[in-house]
């Protein structure tokens, strides 16, 4: 047992030394709902020679990758008030859950740089799978329809236009709207219009709450004015709503006019669009990519 413990210490010291020669780059890509990461090992600095050391280098990258990406996973905003790290602190998920997220990544085989000085492996983590693990409800909660419904046309989806700086509710300041796994929609009277528990459970787990897009996806020279990818989600006749404000400790939740909210709430068909997640937020392109922490 003593020999095994001593060996473990030597391995940890060795990995710690090698870890200084590893670097992670990449970003959280909210348009595609992925974390894209590349882990590079400087072979010369690590004292690894090719070709005999190739297997050792690949094993080192695989071993150290979960530690390198963990901080970025913990920093992912779940909603307007919490990150995944906050959920760990509150005991709602564990560090083992976070490790499983890292290990569940799609791995791109390592490749040597053209000058043969480094080996780099790629990883892709599906953010929708992370959100799916946080869905707790078994059936959607009922949505309250207004006593006096507002006449409305039939729509195929909902797009919230929130690409500009907006007033932050309750603060004397403005902000862009930022992405998260579970945003909410509020109206100007601060009634909650949309949140995760309103969705069909399977849809919430498989597709997520919203699709984040940029202006270029919403204003296209096509019959619908939309990109093909966005049209596949919200159809060719979506209800376009201009956001009037934003809410949250982290400003992730757009606020829409009460009149626009009534259009959604008055129609069973429009409420069904919410349940099925046929919702897109058009955000400023600058907020849709977060570089990974190294």
Dist. CA 87–CA 74, nearest whole Å: 9
pLDDT band at residue 106, thresholds of 50, 70 and 90?
very high
Confidence of residue 192 (pLDDT cuts 50, 70, 90): very high
Classify strands 245-247 and 239-242 as parallel, antiparallel or unpaired. unpaired
In the prediction, which pLDDT does 44 show?
86
Spatial distance between the Cα atoms of 273 and 126, rounded to a whole number of angstroms: 23
Pick from 153-157, 199-203, 253-257 the range whose average pLDDT is largest: 253-257
Between CA 293 and CA 76 the distance in angstroms is: 11
Q: What percentage of the chain exceeds 90 in pLDDT?
A: 75
Residues facing 175 on adjacent strands: 166
- Kindly tell me if the per-residue pLDDT of 86 is higher than 90: yes
| Residue 19 in this model has a pLDDT that exceeds 60 | no
Task: Give the mean model confidence (pLDDT) for residues 95-106.
Answer: 93
Provide mean pLDDT across the span 259-277: 94
Instruction: Check pLDDT > 70 for residue 16.
Output: no
Contacts 24+ apart (CB under 8 A), 163-166: 163/214, 163/215, 163/282, 163/283, 163/284, 164/284, 166/243, 166/244, 166/245, 166/246, 166/251, 166/254, 166/255
Report pLDDT for 150: 82
Q: What is the pLDDT of residue 243?
A: 98
Taking residues 59-82, report their average pLDDT: 94
Burial track 99-127 (b if 16+ CB lie within 10 A, e otherwise): eebbeebeeeebeeeeeeebbbbbbebbb
The per-residue b/e assignment along 187-222, b for 16 or more CB within 10 angstroms, e otherwise, is beeeeebbbbebbbbebbbebbbbbbbbeebbeeee
Q: In this predicted structure, what is the pLDDT of residue 12?
A: 41
H helix runs in 178-275, sequence order? 201-207, 215-218, 228-234, 258-266, 268-275
Query: With bands split at pLDDT 50, 70 and 90, how would you rate the model's confidence at 48?
Result: confident
Is residue 140 classed as helix, strand or coil in its secondary structure? coil
Residue 2 has pLDDT above 60, yes or no: no
Give yes or no for residue 242 having a pLDDT over 90. yes
Answer with the residue of higher pLDDT: 67 or 2: 67
d(CA 65, CA 21): 12
Q: How far apart (Å, rounded) are the C-alpha atoms in residues 134 and 93?
A: 9
| Confidence at 6, pLDDT banded by 50, 70, 90 | very low
pLDDT value at 68 more than 80: yes
In this predicted structure, the answer to whether residue 13 has a pLDDT above a threshold of 60 is no
Across all residues in the chain, what is the average pLDDT?
A: 90
Q: What is the pLDDT of residue 84?
A: 96
Q: What percent of the chain clears pLDDT 70, i.e. is strictly above it?
A: 93
Tell me: pLDDT of 24 over 90. yes
Q: What are the backbone angles phi and psi of residue 72, rounded to the nearest 5°? A: -70, -35
């Amino acid at each position: 047992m003593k020999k095994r413990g001593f060996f473990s210490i030597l391995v940890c010291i060795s990995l710690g030394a090698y870890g200084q020669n590893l670097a992670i780059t990449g970003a959280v890509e909210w348009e595609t709902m992925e974390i894209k990461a590349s882990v590079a090992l400087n072979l010369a600095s690590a004292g690894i020679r090719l070709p005999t050391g190739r297997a050792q280098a690949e094993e080192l990258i695989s071993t150290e990758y979960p530690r390198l990406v963990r901080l970025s996973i913990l920093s992912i905003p779940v909603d307007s008030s919490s990150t995944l790290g906050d959920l760990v602190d509150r005991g709602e998920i564990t560090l083992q859950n976070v490790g499983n997220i890292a290990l569940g990544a799609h791995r791109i085989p390592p490749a040597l740089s053209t000058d043969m000085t480094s080996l780099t492996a790629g990883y892709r983590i599906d953010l929708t799978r992370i959100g799916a693990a946080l869905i707790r409800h078994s059936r959607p909660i009922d949505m309250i329809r207004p006593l006096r419904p507002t006449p409305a046309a039939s729509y195929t989806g909902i797009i919230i236009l929130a690409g500009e700086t907006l007033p932050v509710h309750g603060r004397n300041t403005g902000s862009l709207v930022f992405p998260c796994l579970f945003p909410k929609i509020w109206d100007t009277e601060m009634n909650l219009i949309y949140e995760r528990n309103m969705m069909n459970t399977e849809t919430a787990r498989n597709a997520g709450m919203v699709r984040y897009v940029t202006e270029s996806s919403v204003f296209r020279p096509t019959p619908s004015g939309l990109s093909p990818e966005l049209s596949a989600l919200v159809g060719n006749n979506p209800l376009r709503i201009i956001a009037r404000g934003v809410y949250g400790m982290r400003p992730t939740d757009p606020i829409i006019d009460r009149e626009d909210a009534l259009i959604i709430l008055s129609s069973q068909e429009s409420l069904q669009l919410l349940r099925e997640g046929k919702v897109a937020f058009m955000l400023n392109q600058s907020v849709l990519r977060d570089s990974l922490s190294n």
